[in-house]
Structure 1
Amino acid sequence: MTIQRISTGIQGLDVMLQGGLIPGRVYLVKGAPGTGKTTLAMHFAMAGVENGEDVLYVTIEEPAENLKVDMSKLGFNLRDPRFSLIDATPTAERYVLITDFFEEFAGNIEKMTDAIKRQFQERNYTRVVIDPITMLKLTATKEIDYRKAFLSFIKSMMRLRATVLLTSELEKTDIEEYLVSGVIELKAFNAGGRLTRGVRIIKFRGSSFDGTIRPYEITDRGIVVYHDRMISLP
């Protein structure tokens, strides 16, 4: 039986995933600041737009206008009518689509879940990006409450049948890694005195995958993953 796949928008990463992501599931992209998590997430979002899908992108850290400027330099058109951008950053003067204040939205995963579900009453989004979820975890007062809320979020997204991509800057993402269907890690190494970036798939339920750390570059057209190369570390 052939498993349906959807593209991440990055050809080399799709090869590592044996053809792409399995739709209707929740995935996590984690990595330190500057490793390209937002760029990867935008590749995923724009691949949906190019496929004629409606895409919902929630930015919690980078203001929407900055995101539009930075991503346009990579050739991404964030003004496409199929692309809906929610600015939930603390510096936003207004909140696109969502009327909750930042403290309520980004600081409370239950309210974020409800807000996203409301958007599905207007449009049938097939892809959702939340970039990053880091602040949602850092602002949670109790770990047990966050765990319950995150589990509820996963179940809600799966009921909506959307493919969801979360990003995180936290190295330790225990509950998130346990509950999501797949984890992609972006890392930066100092190899021979030069910066080398590597991508590794840690987990991918329902499919085999390439677990080797493969090199990637952030170019003027976005991320390029070299699925046929290996990183040589000293």
Structure 2
Amino acid sequence: MQKYYERISTGVKGLDELIEGGLIPGRVYLITGPPGSGKTTFGMHFLLEGARKGEKVAYVSLIHKPEEVVKDMLRFDPSIYVYVNKWKLMLYDLGPVLWRESTRVPTWRSVLSRIREIVEDEGISRLVIDPLTAIDFPLQNPVEKRVELAKFIRGLEDLGVTAYLIAEMIEMDKYSEEHFLVSGIIILHYFMHQGRMIRAIQIYKMRGTRHDSNLKLLKFTDKGLVVYNKSPFGAVEDGE
């Protein structure tokens, strides 16, 4: 008999239905795409869904001020301050802390050490690290880099959290080590088609889950991101 995994919601309307009811908990997922594609908003939807269910969740920033991220999300979900004030949604600005400790930019080991403290001290169940591309790797050997990154991802899995790693992806046809090591990859797109800018989401990889890898329509609404189970190209032709 086939064993089905427990699922947790992504918090993005329309997405759970495309991945057999949601994410497999305790795994690490990569959220990638070009600048302005909605990656941070996507991550905040995930955290707010957990906070609404009574979980303690954390947004870990390596560059941006978390307070600014909260302000940006306020337009979609005014309740976000309720969860921040109740310490259900915890904000950590690790960039300045890690840079003060070293003349180098943050490394995999230093970030994992800090995250381990946060998760264990606060009982965090959902985690967003934004952006992964802020973490440096001092060694040039690609094999050693993959080993260190594998340790980083395995370390997150060992903590029992469900984690989003947010990363910029400028060249959509190039892949790096994290693409092969994470349990799932969700790519957010935007591009011009027939004179109109359209957004799309692609479930590129999702271990243990049946999924359609074709582009699906993605929209910013007054409630945030919404996924539609249809082609973004058809939506333009229909005048949506």
| TM-score in terms of structure 1 length | 0.88
Q: 1:215 aligns with which of 206, 217, 231?
A: 217
Name the CA distance, whole Å, in 1 between partners of 2:146 and 2:129: 17
Corresponding residue for 1:149?
148
Name the CA distance, whole Å, in 1 between partners of 2:92 and 2:163: 15
> 1:188-203 maps to which residues of 2 (within 5 A)?
188-203=190-205
Name the CA distance, whole Å, in 1 between partners of 2:231 and 2:214: 8
Name the CA distance, whole Å, in 2 between partners of 1:32 and 1:143: 25
Cα deviation for residue 220 of structure 1 reads 2.5
Corresponding residue for 1:36?
38
Name the CA distance, whole Å, in 1 between partners of 2:93 and 2:209: 34
Name the CA distance, whole Å, in 2 between partners of 1:169 and 1:101: 21
Q: Is the 8 A contact 2:63 2:130 kept in 1?
A: yes
Name the CA distance, whole Å, in 1 between partners of 2:26 and 2:176: 22
Corresponding residue for 1:94?
none
Per-residue CA deviations over 1:34-90 (Å, capped at 9, x if unaligned) read 000000000011111111111121112321221121111221514241111111345
The one-letter amino acid paired with 2:180 is Y
Name the CA distance, whole Å, in 2 between partners of 1:21 and 1:119: 22
Report the count of equivalent residues: 223
Q: Is the 8 A contact 2:98 2:105 kept in 1?
A: no
Q: 1:106 to 1:218 in 2, by over 3 A?
A: farther
Cα deviation for residue 230 of structure 1 reads 1.0
Q: Is the 8 A contact 2:57 2:124 kept in 1?
A: yes
The one-letter amino acid paired with 2:155 is S
The one-letter amino acid paired with 1:224 is V
Cα deviation for residue 201 of structure 1 reads 0.6
Name the CA distance, whole Å, in 2 between partners of 1:204 and 1:210: 10
Q: 1:53 to 1:143 in 2, by over 3 A?
A: farther
Cα deviation for residue 142 of structure 1 reads 2.2
Aligned pair 1:230/2:217, yes or no? no
1:115 match: secondary structure: helix
Moved more, 100-109 or 195-204: 100-109
Aligned pair 1:133/2:132, yes or no? yes
Corresponding residue for 2:13?
11
Q: 2:92 aligns with which of 86, 93, 114?
A: 86
Q: Is the 8 A contact 1:63 1:89 kept in 2?
A: no
Higher helix proportion: 2
| TM-score in terms of structure 2 length | 0.86
Cα deviation for residue 125 of structure 1 reads 1.1
Cα deviation for residue 115 of structure 1 reads 0.6
Sequence identity, in percent? 35
> 1:162-177 maps to which residues of 2 (within 5 A)?
162-170=161-169, 171=171, 172-177=174-179
